[in-house]
Structure 1
C-alpha cells in the first residue's frame, strides 16, 4: 500500500487462495447450490485476487476512477456444492489485452478427501468511470492493460437486429414472453423463447451498468420461462416425477453495455441435445435503442435432469418423451 502506484508493474500475488461458503439463497433444491451461486463464489474469489493485491474494487473505483466489470465467465461444475460446504478457491491470473484473465479452481471436502468441484475462466475489465470524474487516473501499472473506455467484447459480436423482430408477447412472470421467435433472432429452428423486460436498478452496479450477476440471473430465469412455455415447467416435473434440472456447464460473455431502465430482450434457443441426456442452449441479450436491437451479452448453458433420491442424494436420468419433445420440438 505504501508503494507508489506508478512503480507497481506486476501483481504482488499471481496466485491467491480464498475460502468461502455458498450463500443460503442458492439452496434452491434440498441443500444443493444452483449454478448461479456457484458462479457467485467464483466471482468473489476473483474479487479477492484484486483485494489480496491491494487494489480491491472499492479502491479502484474511488481512487483510480475505474469500475471492475466481469465481462466473461465460463464455468464447469464437476461436483455439486451444498450449503455449509467450505470451498477453497485458487485463482491464478494474468493481465493482457483482453483484461485480467483468471483461472479459478474450487476444491471441496468429500468423505475426508478434497475433490475438484468447479473450474472457471473469468475475464475482468476496468471500465473508466468518467461519469464521476476524469476517468482512469492512478491505476496501478500491473492493471493498466485491463483499462477500457467502455466494455470491450472478448468474443465475436452478433449483428444488430431491427427492433420489429420482437413481435407480440404475452405476459408471463415479469415482462412479456413468446415462443414464436423471429428467424432474425435465432440460428436454427429448434425450440426457443424471446423475453422482454425493463432492466431494474438491483441488477446494476457502478451506478448504471447491468453487471455479470444480473446476466446470470437472466440466464437462470429465461430457462424457467422456456420450460414453462414448453409444457415442462420445473414445478411440474418436481411434482409429478421428482426431477430437477442440473447444470454442468455455463458461460456468459458481455458484448456491450446494458444500462438501467433500458428494455432488455433475451432470446433463449436450444442448440442441440446429446443422446437424450443433456441439452445445450444459447442465450443472446439485446437492448432496444431506437429502431434496433443492440447485442449486449451472449452465452450458453447445458442442462441435464436428476431424480431426487432423498434429502442428500440425486442421480441423473435419461430424458422422457415430455422432455425430448420440449427440447427437440
Structure 2
C-alpha cells in the first residue's frame, strides 16, 4: 500500500445532489456534509488508498467518525463547489483529522459556504487480511468504541423528545455498520419530527409564516458501532435560543444491546428560520415569543 495520508492539501470540485434541493433551489445541510466527505475521500483516492482498495486489500474499513462544520453561505442546486481538505496534525492518534473548506463563485468572487473539521478512522471488525501502510499500522480498531477510553454506559436515555426506529440498510456501510452519513440523515429527520411534536411543523411554519429552517452549524460524533436492524433510539431537544434568530439543539443516539444501553453517537445543530419566498426570500426571520416557547424542550 502507498502512503495513506500526508500533509499536502487536496483540492477537488463537485456539485450537490439534486435530491438535496429541498428549499426552492437551496440545498439542505446534509449535502454540505456529503461534499465535505467527498473532499476527504479524494485525499485518500489520490494516494492510492480509496476505501474500496483499502478494504479489499487489507480488510480495513475507512469510516467517517465526526464532522463539525459551520455553514456561512448557501449552496444552490446548480452550483459548482470547490473543496479543499487539509490534514491537521495532532489530535487522536487513531484518527485522521482534516480541515475542510468549501467555496462557490458568486458574482466573480470566491465565497466560503462550509468551514470545519472532518475525522476518519479505520475499523476492522474481523481483523486485518493484508498489510497496511506504515501510517495506518497499529491504528486500526475493532469497534468505534475503541477510539475513546472505556466509559460506563448510561443508565438511561437522557430527557428529551425520543424517536425510535430500526436502522435501515441504506444507512449502513460495509454491509452492517451504521455510517456517519446515516446519523446525519437521522439528525435531519429527528429535527423534523421534533418540530412537528412541538406544534410548529415545517409545513405549518411554511404555510402560516413563509418560514423554512436553515442550518448554520452541525456536528455529529460517532461513539460506538450500531448495526443493521438494531433499534436506534434518537433523543433530541432544543436547549438555547440565540439572539431571537437561531436555535441550537442536541442529538444523542442509543441502542440497547444485551440488556445494556450503548451510546452510539452524539451531535448538535444550529438552525435559523429564513423567509422561503417572495421579495424577502433568504432573509433571516426573527422568532416571536410563542415560537421560542414551542422550540424549547420542557422535560416536565
TM-score (norm 1): 0.84
Q: For the structure 1 residues 141 and 287, does the alpha-carbon distance in structure 2 shift closer, same or farther, using more than 3 Å as the test?
A: same
Of 70-79 and 287-296, deviating more is 287-296
2:141, 2:147 within 8 Å by CA — same for their partners in 1? no
Mapped partners of 1:31, 1:81: distance in 2: 9
Mapped partners of 1:16, 1:48: distance in 2: 7
Offset, 1:207: 1.3
Q: For the structure 1 residues 144 and 94, does the alpha-carbon distance in structure 2 shift closer, same or farther, using more than 3 Å as the test?
A: farther
Residue 135 of structure 2 corresponds to 142
Q: Among residues 94, 98, 101, which one is paired with 1:102 in the alignment?
A: 98
- C-alpha RMSD over aligned residues: 2.1
1:107, 1:118 within 8 Å by CA — same for their partners in 2? yes
1:105, 1:119 within 8 Å by CA — same for their partners in 2? yes
Mapped partners of 1:300, 1:69: distance in 2: 20
Mapped partners of 2:119, 2:255: distance in 1: 22
Q: Among residues 111, 114, 128, which one is paired with 2:110 in the alignment?
A: 114
Q: How does 1:196-235 map to 2 (within 5 A)?
A: 196-235=164-203
Residue 62 of structure 2 corresponds to 68
Mapped partners of 1:22, 1:121: distance in 2: 19
Offset, 1:135: 1.7
Mapped partners of 1:145, 1:319: distance in 2: 51
Mapped partners of 1:126, 1:75: distance in 2: 22
Matched length:
295
Mapped partners of 2:280, 2:19: distance in 1: 18
Of 148-157 and 43-52, deviating more is 148-157
Offset, 1:275: 2.5
Offset, 1:98: 3.5
Q: Does 1:185 align with 2:181?
A: no
Residue 206 of structure 2 corresponds to 238
Offset, 1:66: 0.4
Residue ranges of structure 2 left out of the alignment (5+ in a row)? none
Match of 2:287, SS? coil
Mapped partners of 1:199, 1:225: distance in 2: 17
Offset, 1:117: 1.2
Q: Does 1:53 align with 2:58?
A: no
2:4, 2:49 within 8 Å by CA — same for their partners in 1? no
Mapped partners of 1:221, 1:158: distance in 2: 28
Q: Does 1:18 align with 2:12?
A: yes
Offset, 1:118: 0.6
Offset, 1:288: 1.2
Mapped partners of 1:66, 1:106: distance in 2: 28
1:232, 1:322 within 8 Å by CA — same for their partners in 2? no
Match of 1:304, SS? strand
TM-score (norm 2): 0.92
Match of 2:111, SS? strand
Mapped partners of 2:226, 2:106: distance in 1: 40
2:125, 2:141 within 8 Å by CA — same for their partners in 1? no
Mapped partners of 2:175, 2:270: distance in 1: 32
Residue 254 of structure 1 corresponds to 222
Offset, 1:94: 4.3
Q: What is the CA deviation profile of residues 232-263 of structure 1, one whole-angstrom value per residue up to 9, with x for unaligned ones?
A: 00000111111001110000000100011111
Q: What is the CA deviation profile of residues 189-248 of structure 1, one whole-angstrom value per residue up to 9, with x for unaligned ones?
A: xxx311111111111011110001100010000001100000000000111111001110
Mapped partners of 1:302, 1:25: distance in 2: 22
Mapped partners of 2:260, 2:6: distance in 1: 45
Mapped partners of 1:153, 1:323: distance in 2: 42
Mapped partners of 1:86, 1:102: distance in 2: 21
